[in-house]
Amino acid sequence: MPKFTIDSKEIEFKPGQTIIQAAREAGIDIPHFCWHPALSVSGNCRICLVEVENLPKLQIACSTPAAEGMKVHTKSEKTIHAQNAVMEFLLINHPLDCPICDEAGECKLQDYAYKYSVGISRFDEQKNHKDKRVALGPNVLFDQERCISCSRCIRFCEEVAKDPELTFVQRGDHVTIETFPGEELDNPYSMNVIEICPVGALTSRHFRFRARVWDMSFTDTVCPGCSRGCNTIMGVRNNEILRIEPRENADVNQYWLCDWGRLNTTKFVNDETTRIKSPMIRYEGASVEKSELIEVNWDEAISKSSALLRDADSGESLFIASPYSTLEDNYALRKLADACGGSIAYIPCIDESFEDDLLRKADKSPNAAGLKLLGIQPIDDSLIDRIGSGKIRVAFVLNDDIARLPGASPLIQKIGSMVCIISNKNESSDNANVILPASTYAEINGTFVNFQNRIQRIRPAVATLEQERLLGEFSMSRLDKFGSHNDRWTHGHRYNARPGWKIIKLLAKALGHEFAFENSEEVFTELSSAVPLLNGYDYEAIGKVGIIAGEKVAAEV
Ligand code: SF4
Ligand code: SF4
C-alpha cells in the first residue's frame, strides 16, 4: 500500500483516496463542515485546509488526492491561521443562539469554535438577520441565520434520497436554502438532513425544544420498523423516548434512517392509552356481555394462564410467535410449545408498497429471519382451518394480533381461550382471557435477525418496574453489563411489564418445566447451541454492528 505522512505520522492509503479519507481511516480527524463520507465533495467550507510540502498554497483535504511520499501538516502555523480565519468568517453572521439551539452540545460549529477559533470577534457591525422558522416540510424546520451554506442538505436530497427538493438562492451573505417552487422537503428520508446539518439550522419539528442533549441518555439499539434493522441511537429523558437517530453501520443502513422508522417505532412505548399497565384476567360476570378484564397480580395471571394450558390436550394449543419479538422471546415460546405439544407459527407482515431501493424493506417486522432460524414457520391454511373449525382450545399470542390474519374476527371467536403476552392493546388482547404485559423492544436486551441474516443487539433505553426491582437486587455494575447507564432507572413513569422470555419461563415453571436461563444473555447462549447457524455465538461476538448467522467474523464498520 502507498504511504504518506500527516504531522510526521506515516499512514497508508488506497489509490484514489483523498487526504481526508485516508486520515479518517487512520483515525486522524481533519476538521470539516461540508465534507461527508457518503456525499460528493463540494469543497466550499474551507475548514479542512492543510499545508502540503512543496505546494505553494494550502490545499483542501477533502478534494486533494493522497500521493506517495506526500507530507501533510494539519497543525502548522499556516494551517492554524487558515482554520482561525475560516472560523472567524463563519461566525461573522452566525447568531449567538447556543443557549436556545437544539444542536447545542452536539454542534460541529460550537465544537470547532472552541478548537479552531481564537475566541474573540473583531466584527463590530450588525449581523445579517434572516427568517428563523421556515417550515421546509412536515418534519423539518429551517433557521436561515444559522445556516453556514455547506450544501450537505442539498447534496443529500439529490444524491441519497434521489429527490432534489432543496437549492441555494441569493448570493454572498444573503445566500440561503429554499425548496424548489411548489416543492416541500418531504421525501421518505427527509429527516436525515437534521443530523448531517453541521449546525442547528435544520431541526426536527417533533424533537424541537423538548430537551437539552446533555439531559438525555443515549442507547445503541436497532429500529424494529422493518427487516432492514437500521442501527439507531435512542435518546431518552425521564424514561421517555424523545428521538432516535441513525448509528453508522456500513453494511446495514450506512448513515441513514427512513422517516417512517423514526416517527412510528417509539410512540407506542410511552403510549398511556394503549400500554397494558398490569396483568389482567377476564372476569366472567353474570353473562358474556358482562365479562370484563380486571387487573390482578402476576402470580394470579400466571396461574390462570397455566391452568388454561393444562386443560388443553396435546394438539389443542396454539402458540403464535412474533416477528416483532426478539430471538430470545420466540425461542422461549418455541420451547414452551414443544413442552406442551402445541403448534407454533407466526403471522408474516409484508407490505410491498413500503419497499424502496435505499433502506426500506417490504417485511415490516424486525425478526422474521430470526423465526426462520428457530424453525418457526409462517401460519398456513391448514392451521387457519383448524382455528376456524374450533379445534384450538387455547392460543398463546406473543406480541402480535390474530386480527392481522385475513378474516380474523370470526376466527378469534372460534378460539376457546386466549392468553396474550403483549405490550399494547389490540384486537386480540380485547378478546383475551388473560393478558400478561410484555416489555417493549425499548425496555429489554435481546437480538433481532435482519433480512441479511445479521444478528443485531437491542438494548434497554427505557426502564420498567421490573428493572427498578432488579436495581434493588443487583448492583449497578451488574446492570451496566447489560447496557444500562445514566439516570433512566430512577426518573419518570414506568410500566409493570416483563420481558417475554421471562413471562414464558414463569408459565413453564407453573406447568412443571424448569427453564434454566436467568437473563436474556443466557437465553441467547442456550438458543445459540440449539440453532446450528448460531453455534458458538454470544452477545460479545455480536458486538456493535452485528454478525451474520453462520459467519464467524463480525463485520466491522
Ligand atoms: S441548512 Fe445545514 S446542511 Fe443545509 S446548507 Fe445550511 S448548514 Fe449546510
Ligand atoms: S428502513 Fe426500516 S429499519 Fe430502517 S429506519 Fe426505516 S423502518 Fe426502520
Best probe residue, ligand 2, of 359, 361, 449, 452 (max atoms within 8 Å of C-beta): 359
DSSP 387-445: HHTT--SEEEEESS-GGGSTTHHHHHHHSSEEEEEESB--HHHHT-SEEEEBPPGGG--
Final residue of a structural domain among 75, 108, 139: 75
pLDDT computed for residue 364 by the predictor:
98
Rounded to whole angstroms, the Cα distance separating 230 from 255 reads 9
Pocket of ligand 2 (CB under 6 A): 223, 225-226, 228-230, 253, 257-258, 260-261, 359-360
Ligand with the closest atom to the CA of 254: 2
- Residue 220 resides in a domain: no
Residue 144 phi/psi, 5° resolution?
A: -65, -35
pLDDT < 70 positions in the chain: 285-290, 471-492, 552-557
Q: How far is the CA of 94 from the centre of ligand 1 (A)?
A: 12
Contacts of 249 (CB under 8 A, 6+ apart): 230, 231, 545, 546, 557
Q: Which atom of ligand 1 is nearest to the CA of 149?
A: 5
Question: Can you tell me the distance from the alpha carbon of 512 to that of 144, in angstroms, rounded to the nearest whole number?
Answer: 66
With the most atoms of ligand 2 within 8 angstroms of its CB, the residue from 233, 245, 350, 360 to mutate is: 360
Residue 549 is predicted with a pLDDT of 94
What is the CA(197)–ligand 1 centre distance, in A?
5
Query: For strand 454-458 and strand 202-204, is the pairing parallel, antiparallel, or unpaired?
Result: unpaired
pLDDT of residue 66: 98
Which whole-number Å values give the CA distances from 66 to 14, 18, 36, in the listed order? 9, 5, 17
Using alpha carbons, select from 122, 183, 121 the residue that is nearest to residue 157. Answer: 183
Q: Which of 152, 165, 173, 195 to mutate to test the pocket of ligand 1 (most atoms within 8 A of CB)?
A: 152
CA atoms of 462 and 444, how far apart (whole Å): 8
The answer to whether 374 touches 328, Cβ cutoff 8 Å, is: no
The three state secondary structure string of 99-138 is HHCCCCCCCHHHHHHHHHCCCCCCCCCCCCCCCCCEECCC
Measured between alpha carbons, how far is 40 from 62 in angstroms, rounded to an integer?
10
Q: Ligand 1 pocket: which residues have CB below 6 Å?
A: 147-153, 177, 197-199, 201-202
Name the residue of 160, 189, 230, 267 to mutate for ligand 2: max ligand atoms within 8 A of Cβ: 230
pLDDT at 555: 43
Q: How far is the CA of 495 from the centre of ligand 2 (A)?
A: 26
Chain center to CA of 521: 20
Q: How many structural domains does the chain have?
A: 2
φ/ψ bin of 40: left (φ > 0), alpha (ψ from -120 to 50), beta (otherwise): beta
CA 359 – CA 249 distance, rounded (Å): 12
For residue 415, give the C-alpha cell. 378460539
Ligand that lies nearest to the alpha carbon of residue 244, given by its number in the listed order? 2
**Domain annotation covers residue 345:** yes
Ligand nearest to the backbone CA of 148: 1
The residue type of 240 is E
Mutate which of 133, 199, 204 for ligand 1? The one with the most ligand atoms within 8 Å of its CB, which is: 199
> How many CB atoms sit inside 10 A of residue 220's CB?
17
How far apart CA 447 and CA 458 sit, in angstroms, is 6
CB of 291 closer than 8 Å to CB of 448: no
- Centre of ligand 2 to C-alpha 325, Å, is 16
Q: What is the CATH number of the domain that holds 350?
A: 3.40.50.740
Ligand approaching nearest to the C-alpha of 232: 2
Per-residue model confidence (pLDDT) at position 405 = 86
Q: What is the pLDDT of residues 16-49, one digit of tens each?
A: 999 999 999 999 999 999 999 999 999 999 999 9
> What residue has cell string 421546509?
136
What is the Cα Rg of the chain in Å? 27
Closest ligand to Cα 178: 1
Ligand 2 centroid – CA 331 distance (Å): 24
CA 364 to chain centre: 14
In this predicted structure, what is the pLDDT of residue 254?
98
Distance in angstroms (rounded) separating the CA atoms of residues 180 and 193? 16
**Amino acid at position 405, single letter:** L
Domain boundary among 57, 75, 93: 75
Whether 159 maps to a domain, the answer reads no
Tell me the pLDDT tens digit for each residue of 361-384.
999 999 999 999 999 999 999 999
Burial class (CB in 10 A: 0-12, 13-18, 19+), 127: middle
51 C-alpha to ligand 1 centroid (Å): 27
Rounded to the nearest angstrom, the distance between the alpha carbon of 196 and the centre of ligand 1 is: 8
Q: What is the pLDDT of residue 136?
A: 98
Among 75, 108, 134, residue at a domain's last position: 75
Looking at this protein, which amino acid is placed at residue 153? C
Q: What residues make up the domain containing 39?
A: 3-75
Beta bridge mates, 396: 319, 419
pLDDT at 286: 57
Taking alpha carbons only, the member of 433, 470, 426, 409 closest to residue 322 is 426
Whole-number pLDDT of residue 312: 84
Proximal ligand: closest to the CA of 249: 2
Q: What is the C-alpha separation between 260 and 196, in angstroms, rounded?
A: 18
- Domain with 14 in it: what CATH number? 3.10.20.740
Domain membership of residue 8 (yes or no) is yes
Q: Ligand 2 atom 4: the closest Cα is on which residue?
A: 230
* 154 CA closest ligand 1 atom index: 4
Q: Residue 195 domain-assigned?
A: no
